[in-house]
Amino acid sequence: MSRTRKTLVTAAATAALSLQVGCCPGTCPPGSSQDGVFVHISSGPEEAHAVMMGLQMAKLMADDHPVLVYIDVKGIPIALQDAPALQVEPFGKLDAMFADLLAQDVVIYACPGCLKTHGKTAADLRAGVQVAEKEAFFDFTAGRILTLDY
């Protein structure tokens, strides 16, 4: 599937999810701190800038909102214990970025099917990264969900 088509499919799925999840009626005004940010990273080490930009946005958003980082497709290698030592300025090092996110209580998930495709299991994930479970996508925030794709 082409990157453009993948982006369109992801956008459509996100829009459909947003319509289903929505906001708690009458309890979550626009801009509420209950609104969450879903950062989707499907780029891998060969696109280090995209990876680090996604993680940086998660870090910035976590100051004010619940954040869930979902890593899939080509991004799986960055979620592993033996991840390449990426460093992109002005973002710094990949390992430090993961440590910062975990210190901010950011939830980081890896796609189970993508792990399998890469020949990896949950035991191969870096500390703090968990295998994604469907219900978690609905439980990390009580408000609307803003999605950022990298």
pTM greater than the 0.75 cutoff: yes
Q: What is the pLDDT of residues 34-59, one digit of tens each?
A: 899 999 999 999 999 999 999 999 99
Q: Report pLDDT for 125.
A: 98
C-alpha 141/C-alpha 34 separation (Å) is 6
Q: Report pLDDT for 31.
A: 52
Q: What is the pLDDT of residues 88-103, one digit of tens each?
A: 999 999 999 999 999 9
Asked if the bond preceding 25 is cis, omega within 30° of 0, the reply is: no
Give the architecture (CATH level 2) of 3-149: 3-Layer(aba) Sandwich (3.40)
pLDDT at 70 over 60: yes
Amino acid type, 105: D
Stretch among 76-80, 120-124, 129-133, 134-138 having the lowest mean pLDDT: 134-138
For the chain, the domains span 3-149
Give Cα separations from 29 to 18, 47, 67, 141 (angstroms).
15, 36, 18, 14
